[in-house]
Chain A
């Protein structure tokens, strides 16, 4: 069997591909921002919050980490309307990704927080900082720095996971590829192009967040 590759019919649809890339990046950006925020708050509550809220955090993290992303997405998009909560495909996608990244990053950030030497917290308390100041100024920046590579990997995983959001008609990259191959039947080429684009996006996003972390997240840049 011979396959003659014809990329032109796929590349011809570049506006669709571009829209797909834009949506994938947009979903990733939004879910990274809110997901890491959610994860950090959960990590704080889990490690330093009141006793009663810890089981809720553990429950949330375990629920999300032990169920498939696509089920979480379908639940938000198809099941919630039954409860009267109707969301657009895009909002449902972001929400599912935020909840998903929030759970994974809660555990990652918690590991970083728990690796904080006790003495640093005591030193900060001795300097009259409030507990919240100790957390935001002393504990969190080095904690995020410690686990940043793991967080960036998780962000990439969530970005690649966003391919599933095409299933509820969010027009991200895999949705675009699927649409293109259904128009011109160039399935092989369409998914090769999508694969290459995902690869490039991943490398780009990884480098971006490595730079972003050094520049903005851990405070002062070093050496």
Chain B
């Protein structure tokens, strides 16, 4: 089966199914995401949001269906192809996942020097540039444990950006943060969105989803249950499941 993928499509997902044992987590996902598009994925826990995101960079395998990133099919069992794909797709996690034994600068420089063969000197210049962008240039020699959660997450964003990905996956990146630290992380994400980065974020920050995203996707029982522009989706939900989900958030 081949598909025509035009150059403006960043991610193309066709008929994706995935089960954990008896539990079907992804139940036929079809989704096309244009380059530069900012997508917010919302839904109850267990609706398959994170699993979908993790399928896109191969942290999770899927049972059937196809997934294209920049027109290239995802080949889960081909380690080399996966590494090529992952250079296109950055990921940021709920729990930051900085490497505790490396400084902030080393965290950012590790992959560019190991994977892309960039010299330590150039990698450091680039790390500093990225840290400036997330407002943490002075922390380049600090260890992760010396930073607040919000700072760690901004470093994690810089680390993902160091590989110059064309797509960034954000998996509930503010869920582990104290409320007063959420803003600084979202500000960075917002600036990335403005700069034209393709963003897929699983989020519980509805206000942020509304403000930043081009399209909101509501997942329910492993399906894309409803999607649309944020204003319409939040104001005029069409399905009872979305109505219920949105009202459960406000109560």
**Which A174-223 residues sit within 8 Å CB-CB of chain B?**
218-220, 222-223
With a cutoff of 8 Å between Cβ atoms, the chain B residues found around residue A131 in the complex are 79
Q: Known contacts A127-B111, A128-B163, A129-B111; decide if A145 and B86 are in contact (CB<8 Å).
A: no
Surface stretch bound by A, among B25-33, B89-97, B124-132, B233-241: B89-97
Q: Count A-B contacts at CB 8 Å.
A: 73
Q: Are B101 and A123 in contact (CB under 8 A)?
A: no
Sorting the interface of chain A by its residue count into under 10, 10 to 19, 20 to 34 or 35 or more gives 20 to 34
Q: Are A125 and B59 in contact (CB under 8 A)?
A: yes
Identify A127's interface contact among B79, B86, B101, B143, CB under 8 A. Answer: B86
With a cutoff of 8 Å between Cβ atoms, the chain A residues found around residue B59 in the complex are 122, 125-126
Task: Check B179 for interface membership: any CB of A closer than 8 A.
Answer: no
Task: Check B166 for interface membership: any CB of A closer than 8 A.
Answer: no
Q: Are A122 and B143 in contact (CB under 8 A)?
A: no
Q: Are B111 and A117 in contact (CB under 8 A)?
A: no
Task: Check A66 for interface membership: any CB of B closer than 8 A.
Answer: no
Identify B110's interface contact among A122, A126, A137, A145, CB under 8 A. Answer: A137
A125 to B103, CA, bound (A): 19
Closest B residue to A219 by beta carbon equals B101
With a cutoff of 8 Å between Cβ atoms, the chain B residues found around residue A117 in the complex are 95, 97
Task: Check A124 for interface membership: any CB of B closer than 8 A.
Answer: yes
| Whole-angstrom distance between the Cβ of A63 and the nearest chain B Cβ | 33
Task: Check B174 for interface membership: any CB of A closer than 8 A.
Answer: no
Q: Are A123 and B163 in contact (CB under 8 A)?
A: no
Identify A138's interface contact among B58, B86, B99, B156, CB under 8 A. Answer: B99
| Whole-angstrom distance between the Cβ of B4 and the nearest chain A Cβ | 28
> Shortest 8 CB-CB distances between A and B: which pairs?
A123-B97, A127-B111, A119-B97, A126-B91, A128-B86, A128-B83, A128-B115, A141-B101
Q: Give 24 CB contacts A-B under 8 Å.
A: A117-B95, A119-B93, A120-B99, A122-B59, A122-B93, A123-B93, A123-B98, A123-B159, A124-B99, A125-B86, A126-B57, A126-B91, A127-B110, A128-B83, A128-B84, A129-B110, A129-B114, A130-B83, A137-B99, A137-B114, A141-B101, A220-B102, A220-B106, A222-B143
